[in-house]
Amino acid sequence: MKKLHQALFSLLLILLPIQLGRHFWPDFSLISGIRVDYLSPTIYLTDLLVIGILGVWFWERRSQLSVFSFQSLVKKYRWIIAVFCLLFVNAFLAQNQGAAFYKLIKIIEFTLLGFYVAKNNYTPFAIAKRQALLIRRTLSLAVIYSSFIAIAQLLKQASLDGVFWWLGERTFNAFTPGIARAVWDGQLIMRPYATFSHPNVLAGFILVSLTLIAMNRTKETWQRIVKWLVVILGTITILISLSRAVWLVGVLVCFWLIIRHLRLTKPDKKIFYSVLCCLLFVLGAIFYSALHLSAEEAISQRIRLAQTSIEMIKQNPLAGVGLNNFVVRLSEYWPIEAVRFLQPVHNIFLLVAAETGLIGLLIFLWFLYLTFKRLITYHLLRSSKLRLSLITSLTAILLLGLFDHYFFTLQQTQLLFTIVLGLSWANH
């Protein structure tokens, strides 16, 4: 049984970029007759894998679970239960209860998956070499095939179609209404999606995956070759995605890691300042490219969404508007443009505060504090690049969360965020 749920988990990691799923459209998923993806209950292929993993794992542990009484379980996990009781009340009080309870079910699913990851020694800190390589190998495959699909889409300026539809690729070309395009040096180009719902999501997924892959040590030659292949392909994909937020966060992460390495190794001052100047030059080049990159997605719309979320927080400071209800209530605060721009606010902290109130935001921030405290404590007690990779991954997710919402709203990146948190809380 153990080998079965481990095999399913390996398959889940390989298929993380896949968004193949069955959408359902009940009344609560419609706004003014418009279908809204964020509200649509969807059964993804990855959901089935998560259910299979948890089912096999719980069946394997049934004898251990029977030892614990209901009272002991409640006492042990009383704070987690209290948070879910709060979320249940939040969903019950929401204007659109169907969308809220669907979001609550997803949160429960991801929490159980994170609990599974934490309890099964999938952490890179595990003693067993086989377990230590699992995350790196499977994510490497995911990055490789996603990168090849993205590069092919850029060259074709359209979706690849055919068998790639079964991987979750949508059908589109450079002239499809609403497709992500950019003007580079006076030429209109379609940004690649791979099997993700937006180029920004593709780039964010690749960046976080690279922080988990590239910072792990490899001894064998073929492993080093694969690692550098992944790094090169992933970097190319991030560049061609034209995601300015990911460019910025990627440069900041690299900047911090290089400076940290130089401080630890204490090289000659000339070398240190030369590297620093090179990094500043690269950062300047990124900013110059970003300023001269014209995209259809208006920054003013993102600012307006942020202003709208602040108004929601002011009017619903404690409980928020309800889980998954930001889009539902958007037209009340932005009546003219909201129908054309039905999206959550592009900031996960504002989104949490708007939907669950300041109480929910404080709980979220406290959980993040405990997670970082745990990682940093272990890193200081037992210095390791592997622990540093998790600190870096989590930092990258939160920095990207300042510019976009997909780590809280889309299946592939929600799963990746869950796995990073699960690894962070592993018993190592």
- Helix (H) or strand (E) segment spanning residue 295: strand 294-295
Nearest 5°: CA angle at 413, between 394 and 81?
75
Give the number of other CB atoms < 10 A from CB of residue 301.
Answer: 15
Q: Has residue 271 been placed in a domain? A: no
| Sign of the torsion formed by the C-alpha atoms of 22, 27, 31 and 32 | positive
Host domain of residue 350: 2-242+293-424
Q: Name the phi and psi angles at 167, rounded to 5.
A: -90, 0
What pLDDT shows up at residue 79?
87
What pLDDT shows up at residue 287?
62
What pLDDT shows up at residue 363?
95
Please name the residues in contact with 22: beta carbons below 8 A apart, sequence gap of 6 or more.
42, 43
Q: For residues 385 and 369, what is the distance between their CA atoms, to the nearest angstrom?
A: 21
Please name the residues in contact with 301: beta carbons below 8 A apart, sequence gap of 6 or more.
337, 341
What pLDDT shows up at residue 124?
44
What pLDDT shows up at residue 296?
47
Q: Name the phi and psi angles at 158, rounded to 5.
A: -170, 170
Q: Is 77 helix (H, G, I), strand (E, B) or coil?
A: coil
What pLDDT shows up at residue 344?
92
Q: Has residue 304 been placed in a domain? A: yes
Q: How far is CA 258 from CA 43, 117, 216, 294, in A?
A: 42, 30, 15, 31
DSSP class per residue in 152-209:
HHHHHTB---GGGGGGTPPP-BTTSTT--EEEETTEEEEPP-TTSSSHHHHHHHHHHH
Pick out the chain residues at pLDDT < 50.
Answer: 123-129, 296
Please name the residues in contact with 362: beta carbons below 8 A apart, sequence gap of 6 or more.
none
For the chain, the residue count is: 428
Q: How far is CA 334 from CA 306, 339, 356, 373, in A?
A: 11, 9, 20, 39
Pairing of β 42-44 and β 34-35: unpaired
Q: Is 354 helix (H, G, I), strand (E, B) or coil?
A: helix
Q: For residues 61 and 140, what is the distance between their CA atoms, to the nearest angstrom?
A: 30
What pLDDT shows up at residue 276?
66
What pLDDT shows up at residue 380?
55
Q: For residues 145 and 195, what is the distance between their CA atoms, to the nearest angstrom?
A: 10
What pLDDT shows up at residue 127?
40
What pLDDT shows up at residue 353?
96
Q: How far is CA 413 from CA 45, 285, 387, in A?
A: 15, 28, 21
Q: Which two tokens stand for residue 26?
A: 């009940």
What pLDDT shows up at residue 377?
82
Round to the nearest angstrom and report the end-to-end CA distance of the chain: 23
| CA within 13 Å, CB half, 187 | 5
The number of folded domains in the chain is: 1
Q: Among candidates 168, 159, 148, which has minimal Cα distance to 234?
A: 148
Q: Is 35 helix (H, G, I), strand (E, B) or coil?
A: strand
What pLDDT shows up at residue 128?
39
Q: Has residue 400 been placed in a domain? A: yes
What pLDDT shows up at residue 9?
93
